[in-house]
Structure formats: C-alpha cells, structure tokens
Amino acid sequence: MMNDNYPRAILFDLDDTILDTTLSADRLWTQASKQFADEIGRSPDEIDRQMRQAREWFWSDPQRNQVGRLDLFKARAGCVEHALEQMDAGDNGLATRIATWFTDRRIPAMKPFDGALEALAKLKDAGVRLGLISNGKGETQREKVVRFGLEPYFDCIILEGEFGAGKPDRRVFDHALEELGVTPGQAWMVGDNLQWEVAAPQKLGIQGVWVDWRGAGLPEDALVVPDRVIQSIAELIE
Ligand SMILES: [Mg+2]
C-alpha cells in the first residue's frame, strides 16, 4: 500500500546524508592531532586547527575536490602536508604516515545518523523505490555500502568510481530513474550538497530535498531553493 505522502522513488546521497561523514572525520583528525603532537612539536589544539583549515582550503576548490575525492589518500596527505608547512613542522614522510594512520581508521569511525536506517527500511516497506547515488572512488564507497549493510535497502546503487560519472552529471540521474522505472516527476533526490543533490536534479524535474545536517540553514548567498529542507532523513517518515 503506497503512502500518499511518499513519492514513487527516492534517490539518496550517502555521505553526510545517510552516514555521519564530516563529523566522524573531524573527530578522527582531532585524535590524529593528539597522536602525532609530540612528533610535530606543536600542541594538539594548534595541529587540529591547522589541519581543519588545510582541509577547508583543499576541499573548497571544485577542481581539487573532483580529483581528490577519487584519490582520498593523496588528498589527505596533501592536506596534512599543507598544515605541516603552515606550522613550519614535519616533512613529507610524516604527512604520509599521518594520512595512513587516518585512512586505516576512517571507515570504521563512520556511522549511520540516528534513525537513518530505520527511515530507509520504512520507506522500502511502504513500497518506495530507493536509489543510492554517491560520488567518490568505487572501492571506498562500496566498502561503506557493504560495511553498513546498505545494499538490501536499494533497488539501484550508482557509485561514481564504478559508473564512470558523478553528480551533477545528468547521466547518473537519468540512469537511476531508468533503473527504478520512474519519471523525474515521480522522484525526489535527497542529499546535503545543494549543487549536486538539489540544483542538478531540479533541472531535470526531480524534487530536491536538502539535508541540512548542521542545522545551519541555507547559506545567505544560496541561489538554490530546495523543495524541502530536513535536518535528518528520519524526518521523511514522520
Ligand atoms: Mg553528501
């Protein structure tokens, strides 16, 4: 029995939509700052701050983002190296070791947001066709899908590294709709990235639901108007 409040299909983003990605990374970088403080010769707080700034610097650039998300280890080592340079400390070898320490712990440190898996289960039970569309390297994203037992929820899983294209490329949305057997007007895309998961699908006639997991509201300069704003995907079943 279809619930009238639900669309025929919902496409979900993975990182910072289903999985607590940024906050769990921040916590792990804070741990790394403590772990390597003696070797770097600065206080854990200073290291943590410099590494955070380096990450913002790195990932805010669309070009670096696109290349970096397909080679996360290199991106992480690059961020650490940048932070070490800012502190006039350490070297390449240390940057690589810190990036390795982080990478070994990264996926186990993630977890689904509270209520996220329950929401997916309830939508699936209600007969909503579910798709997962995630940017990033195929192996990394697939490891998360498997580790958190996400496969059974989805009728269609498109991972950028496996598929050969990523959001906002319309091919991923077109492919997902085709796989799920729905028209754009019958689908929602739900995610935390205003460009990838709201603006791009809206252009195709898919409703864009923005996940404001920080609870910070739309940026003042946002040109994108989401069809709906939620803080957690658990709200979809309320
Ligand atoms: Mg995301």
Q: CATH no. for residue 157?
A: 3.40.50.1000
**Residue-level pLDDT at 138:** 94
> Please, what is the average pLDDT of the chain?
95
In the beta sheet, which residues pair with residue 157? Answer: 132
SS3 of 131, please? strand
Q: How many independent structural domains does the chain possess?
A: 2
- Domain around 119: 9-20+111-237
**Gap from CA of 6 to ligand 1 centroid (Å):** 22
**Gap from CA of 141 to ligand 1 centroid (Å):** 12
For residues 56 and 120, state if they share a domain.
Answer: no
For residues 195 and 151, state if they share a domain.
Answer: yes
From its phi and psi, is residue 115 left (phi > 0), alpha (psi between -120 and 50) or beta?
Answer: left
**Residue-level pLDDT at 5:** 81
For residues 81 and 136, state if they share a domain.
Answer: no
**Gap from CA of 144 to ligand 1 centroid (Å):** 13
Amino acid sitting at position 39? E
From its phi and psi, is residue 207 left (phi > 0), alpha (psi between -120 and 50) or beta?
Answer: beta
**Gap from CA of 70 to ligand 1 centroid (Å):** 15
For residues 192 and 97, state if they share a domain.
Answer: no
For residues 54 and 172, state if they share a domain.
Answer: no
Question: Mean per-residue pLDDT for 179-206?
Answer: 98
**Gap from CA of 16 to ligand 1 centroid (Å):** 5
For residues 117 and 165, state if they share a domain.
Answer: yes
Rounded Cα gap, residues 96 and 74, in angstroms: 9
**Gap from CA of 33 to ligand 1 centroid (Å):** 25
- Angle CA 189–218–196, to nearest 5: 35
**Residue-level pLDDT at 91:** 82
1, part of any domain: no
Give this prediction's pTM: 0.89
Q: Smallest Cα–Cα separation from 16: which of 29, 26, 7?
A: 26
**Residue-level pLDDT at 3:** 61
SS3 of 161, please? helix
For residues 105 and 167, state if they share a domain.
Answer: no
For residues 135 and 84, state if they share a domain.
Answer: no
For residues 137 and 74, state if they share a domain.
Answer: no
4, part of any domain: no
**Residue-level pLDDT at 2:** 55
